[in-house]
Amino acid sequence: MIKISIIIPVYNTEKYLKKCLDSIINQTLKSLEIICIDDCSTDNCLHILKEYQLKDNRIKIIEQKENKGQGVARNLGLNIAEGEYIGFIDSDDWVDLNFFEKLYFAAKKYNSDVALAANVRIGNGRTKKRLDFKNEEIYTNIEDKFNASKLLKNPCPTNKIYRREFLIKNNIIWPAGCYCEDKLFVTKAVYYANSLVCVPDIYYYYYRNPNSTVNTRTKKHSIKLKHDKNLAKCAVISFLKEKKLKFADKKYWADKKEFKFFGVTLFKIKRSVYSEILFLFGVIPLFKVRGQI
């Protein structure tokens, strides 16, 4: 039985791909399925993937004929995955060599749907731990699961493994064709998980690639990124409201409507789970109401 299916969306990361793949094929846990989705890369990524496939028959390659983004790529991987658990890794990142072994056996020990490790952000000459666990801890309460994973500030999908049957049962898939697709996926996964176990002393290394989708800074891209980021926030707020979760409004805000005059923002309405606020010039809060303005 395959213990973990690792899904890697790949797009124009030839400078980093080998380091990523080396950290996967050399994992101490050997019962892996490695699903690489080439999202119509225009560089040397596909050649690198085929080179590694010759060395390791656990690697499966899906070739997309047009670029459709990480959400679509990850869903394609989910559709063919056979592992007991699912792990995701971005093709410019890497993990400790015992990363998946420790996550898997912690998940099995507690029969958890989700196991979580710390992650480290690297780039711009700085290294910063976004999460860092000192002890192995198990959480079952919804608020405790959200707090332990720091879901509000760190909705990272790649420092976790997820039981595959659990994802299928709850129809947890990736939103397609947008940025910031991880927010709703991770929120649903943490919410529905029977339990979440935090595992110390292993790390997922997130590299701040200057050419990644979130760091590309063309005007068209920036507009779409801002739009999609707000849509993702709205989707999370709607989900929390639907489930009647009692989180403080101050933790979750998204833009609802904006009123402009000659390109200048006069008023902006922001929404949260239970409240809305009207802002003058988009920054000065005028009043807050429970419900809708």
The residues that are catalytic are 182
3-state DSSP assignment of residue 118: strand
| Buried-exposed string 130-159: b where 16+ CB fall within 10 A, e elsewhere | bbebeeeebbeebeebbebbebeeebbbbb
Q: Which two tokens stand for residue 19?
A: 């380091």
* Bridge-based pairing state of the strands 4-10 and 32-38: parallel
Backbone phi and psi for residue 50, each to the nearest 5 degrees, phi listed first:
-70, -35
CA distance readout (Å), 248 to 237, 242, 292: 12, 15, 17
Nearest to 74 by CA among 178, 3, 208, 170: 178
